[in-house]
Amino acid sequence: MSKKKLIFLGLPGASKGTLCNEIAKHININTISAGDCLREEAKKDTIRSQQIKETIGQGKLVSDELIIDILNDKINDKTQDYIFDGFPRNIAQATKLDEVLKSNNDKIDAVIYLNVSEDKLLERILGRRVCPNCNSNYHISFLPPQKEGICDKCGNDLITRKDDNEIILKDRINTFNNETKLLLDYYQDILYEIDGALELDEKFEIFKNIYDNLGE
């Protein structure tokens, strides 16, 4: 059976990461968050890491070359199913991704758009807590950990992301509206929409149905 590649699109706070965590619990599919990969890279002590940290802190996109370089192995891997969460984020990245996949006789099978209204984002983003060790996502009201401030999965202390604040959120929303949203048109033939306001288990069921019905 050929391996599947899917993309998750959505505004910051649309619950892409939370849904990916849920999917990873139940389905044998690699969920790759472009943001997590960049944050891992940013922990290193290099000039490139410093630049990544600054760009993320400004709510802007890192260069197309950089993100493609970081995800290169995963893009080229045909041995497992993948969900790319947060990649591509503009037309240039999508075009490059298509080029690489085509040269590998591979393709994107589906693009899932988690649609949420912008007025819900601030509450979601300000309440978000993440585990810097295993990248699990929580929300202080909607998805609290069993023990306050502690990751259920690995026991690490949870943190608030530096870019999860009201000022940077505005820039991240602008970046989405100006650059990423164009991908809804670009991928219109393989686009599926899930209402981000649904409960997590409902979103998971809709996703599973889409995934199970993808052709060869």
55 or 160, CB closer to ligand AMP?
A: 55
Q: Is 39 among the catalytic positions?
A: no
The contact mask relative to ligand AMP for 81-110 (x = CB under 6 A, - = no) is -----xxxx---x-----------------
Q: Is 161 among the catalytic positions?
A: yes
Q: Is 16 among the catalytic positions?
A: yes
Starting at the edge strand that comes first in sequence, how are the strands of the sheet with 5-9 ordered? Answer: 30-33, 82-85, 5-9, 110-115, 191-195
Number of alpha carbons in the 13 Å side-chain half-sphere of residue 19: 31
Distance of CA 171 to the CA centre of its chain: 17
19 or 67, CB closer to ligand AMP?
A: 67
Q: Is 19 in the site for ligand AMP (CB under 6 A)?
A: no
Contact residues for 201 (Cβ-Cβ < 8 A; gap 6+): 22
Q: Is 70 in the site for ligand AMP (CB under 6 A)?
A: no
Which of positions 43-62 make contact with ligand AMP (CB under 6 A)?
A: 55-56, 59-62
Q: Is 196 in the site for ligand AMP (CB under 6 A)?
A: no
Q: Is 5 in the site for ligand AMP (CB under 6 A)?
A: no
Nearest to 62 by CA among 84, 38, 78, 46: 38
Rounded to whole angstroms, the Cα distance separating 172 from 60 reads: 7
Contact residues for 36 (Cβ-Cβ < 8 A; gap 6+): 17, 135
Catalytic residues: 16, 89, 128, 161, 172
Q: Which residues bind ligand AMP (CB under 6 A)?
A: 12, 33-35, 38, 55-56, 59-62, 67, 86-89, 93, 172
